[in-house]
Amino acid sequence: MARYLHLTNCLLADNSELKEDDLFIDTVLGIIVEKPEGGFDSENIEVIDLNGNIVSPGFIDIQINGCFGLDFSTTFSGEKQRLEFVQEYNDSMEKLLKYGVTSICPTVTSSFSDVYNDVLHILGLKTRSPTKADSLGVHIEGPFISPQKKGCHPPETLTAMTDGYQSLFKRYGRDFEKYAAIVTAAPEVEGCLEVISEITKSNQVVFSIGHTMSDFETGLKAIHNGATMMTHLYNAMPAYTARNVGVVGLISATRDELPSEKIPYYGLVADGIHVHPSAIKAAYDANPNKAILVTDAMSLIGLEDGVYKRGNQSVEKKGHLLHLEGTETIAGSATYLLDCVHNLIKWTEIPIQDALATITNNPARSLKISKRKGFLNPGCDADFNVLTKTGKLKEVYKLGLKAHDFD
């Protein structure tokens, strides 16, 4: 097998641009490389004609609660269950790769300490695999959130940061910072505003505003203290009105209120269920460079319709719709990331390269990993997808090796 790949006759979708260019891959190092001035040894390079198709960076999902029957927020009664969880986790990460998703932030929702103690060191182990989606670190969503905006988070798990940063150690474990990529919390929760700067001081963990009753001014304080993201915009936060814009108003703050570089990244669940298409369009139009599509997928994605147990709750799946049984409370999503991209294109009428940026470039920038993930630049991991001009997935490559071919 040749060490290098030369992708030609293709359109590179990167940085919201779609340009005809070639791409060079080192399959041994698994990275994108520059073409050397003297060229490659012809015996050591494979030229692949992509027939005018699109090459996109691999897709990144920064909020996914589980998939294919596996709930990331779980706990074990013994070593046998732990080993079974690890096996199911690895299997689910392999299956995600079939959908072009090459990296995720496995998301753990509001739980007691036993869950975090059991799963953070498994889900948060940052990987670099040629055969499955990588973990970029855990998205810890809760339990320091508003009881009024808890969504489907178990109310008995919710708490405040009454002991400051020690509250996080007590709930998540002393070493949680090694495994976390994002912490979602409500700024108005007791003690939260004061610890944001501590959470983000290492530049390794992102603080995201979510499941909150905060007003605009409290949201501004959170950003000035180090918050750089908002979790599933519109959902589990006060409604935007003309006079009380709430934290939703942060994405369109005026220059006097917030410099443009301080506007937070924001997740959008573009499944047609969580948020009305008109609201998706309004948010995207307000600040496209900070928009990140997320699935907020639950363990039921990929499973048949029906009623499933999740802890003490029952969740009903009907197609892409997940509700707590017998209620109107949304319990996550069952829509794949590329389907959300197609929805965004349909609702906003943007070109495909702009839509793809919301699941590649923007999430990579938000996590400060753009030098190694989410772009088609030399030095980045060679995780990329080949799509038709209409956005149909044709091939998936991981670290420069073809993982899936759908022709």
Question: Binding site for Zn(2+): what residues are annotated?
Answer: 141, 211, 232
Asked if the model's pLDDT at residue 1 lies above 80, the reply is: no
CA distances from 233 to 21, 31, 111, 238, 283 (A): 35, 34, 22, 10, 8
Over residues 228-241, the mean pLDDT reads: 97
Domains of the chain: 4-57+376-405 (2.30.40.10), 59-366 (3.20.20.140)
Query: pLDDT tens across 243-287, in order?
Result: 999 999 999 999 999 999 999 999 999 999 899 999 999 999 999
Stronger pLDDT, 273 or 5, i.e. the higher one: 5
Token pair in block for residue 295 = 């699935």
Give every CB contact of residue 260 below 8 A, 6+ residues apart in sequence: none
Asked if the model's pLDDT at residue 235 lies above 90, the reply is: yes
Give every CB contact of residue 224 below 8 A, 6+ residues apart in sequence: none
pLDDT at 348: 98
Q: How far apart are CA 122 and CA 79, in angstroms?
A: 13
Asked if the model's pLDDT at residue 39 lies above 80, the reply is: no
Query: pLDDT tens across 87-108, in order?
Result: 999 999 999 999 999 999 999 9
Token pair in block for residue 309 = 């147990």
How many contiguous H segments (helices) and E segments (strands) does the chain have? 9, 25
Query: pLDDT tens across 43-75, in order?
Result: 899 999 999 999 999 999 999 999 999 999 999
pLDDT classification of 180: cutoffs 50, 70, 90:
very high
Asked if the model's pLDDT at residue 313 lies above 90, the reply is: no
pLDDT classification of 117: cutoffs 50, 70, 90:
very high
Q: How far apart are CA 139 and CA 229, in angstroms?
A: 12
Q: What is the percent of the chain where pLDDT is above 70?
A: 100
**What mean pLDDT, rounded, does the chain reach?**
95
Give every CB contact of residue 287 below 8 A, 6+ residues apart in sequence: 251, 252, 263, 266
pLDDT at 153: 94
Q: How far apart are CA 227 and CA 264, in angstroms?
A: 7
CB atoms within 10 A of CB 323: 18
Over residues 350-368, the mean pLDDT reads: 98
β-pairing, 206-209 with 384-387?
unpaired
Using DSSP, state whether 404 is helix, strand or coil. Answer: strand
Contact 383, 373 (CB under 8 A): yes
Q: How far apart are CA 309 and CA 278, in angstroms?
A: 33
Q: Which residues are catalytic?
A: 296
Question: Binding site for substrate: what residues are annotated?
Answer: 152, 235-236, 243, 274, 330-332
pLDDT at 19: 97
Task: Please tell me the pTM assigned to this model.
Answer: 0.96
Stronger pLDDT, 377 or 321, i.e. the higher one: 377
